[in-house]
Amino acid sequence: MKQKARTLKNIMEEQTKKNSKTVLVTGGLGFIGGHFIEMLLEKGFSVVNIDKITYASNPKLNDVFSAGFPGKYRFIKKDINDLEELPYANYIAHFAAESHVDNSIKDGFVFTRSNVLGTQNLLNLIAKTRGNNLIHEWPTSCPEFIHISTDEVFGDIENGFFKENDRHNPSNPYSASKSAAEMLVIAYGRTYGIPYKITRTTNNYGPRQHPEKIVPHCIMRGISGNKIRIHGTGNQKRNWIHVKDNCHAIFKVMTEGKFGEIYHISSPEEYSVNDIVRMTLEKLGSRFDATTVDYVQDRSGQDMRYALDSTKIKETLGWSALSAFKESIGDIIEHYKQHRRE
Ligand code: NAD
Q: Which of 39, 54, 77 has most ligand 1 atoms within 8 Å of CB, for mutation? A: 54
Ligand 1 and 79: CB distance under 6 A: yes
Q: Which residues are catalytic?
A: 151-152, 174
Q: What percent of the chain has pLDDT over 70?
A: 91
pLDDT band at 1 (very low <50, low <70, confident <90, very high): very low
**Average pLDDT of the chain?**
92
Better pLDDT: 285 or 13:
285
SS3 218: helix
Ligand 1 and 178: CB distance under 6 A: yes
- Which residue in 4, 69, 47 sits closest to 254, CA to CA? 47
pLDDT at 129: 85
CA–CA separation, 294 vs 60, rounded Å? 32
CA of 27 to the centre of ligand 1 (A): 6
Instruction: Tell me the per-residue pLDDT of 161-200, one tens digit each, with 9 for 90 and over.
Output: 999 999 999 999 999 999 999 999 999 999 988 999 999 9
Ligand 1 and 31: CB distance under 6 A: yes
Q: Which atom of ligand 1 is nearest to the CA of 174?
A: 34
Sheet bearing 237-242, strands edge to edge: 203-205, 237-242, 270-272
pLDDT band at 14 (very low <50, low <70, confident <90, very high): low
Eight-state DSSP code of residue 212: T
CA–CA separation, 139 vs 193, rounded Å? 7
Ligand 1 and 37: CB distance under 6 A: no
pLDDT at 134: 61
CA–CA separation, 232 vs 229, rounded Å? 10
CA of 16 to the centre of ligand 1 (A): 30
pLDDT band at 136 (very low <50, low <70, confident <90, very high): low
pLDDT band at 2 (very low <50, low <70, confident <90, very high): very low
**8 A C-beta contact, residue 214 and residue 299:** no
* Alpha helix positions (H), the chain: 2-19, 31-42, 60-68, 101-106, 109-111, 118-129, 173-192, 214-224, 243-256, 273-284, 311-317, 325-338
Ligand 1 and 29: CB distance under 6 A: yes
Ligand 1 and 30: CB distance under 6 A: yes
Q: Which atom of ligand 1 is nearest to the CA of 114?
A: 18
CA of 13 to the centre of ligand 1 (A): 35
Overall residue count recorded for the chain in this entry: 342
pLDDT at 324 over 90: yes
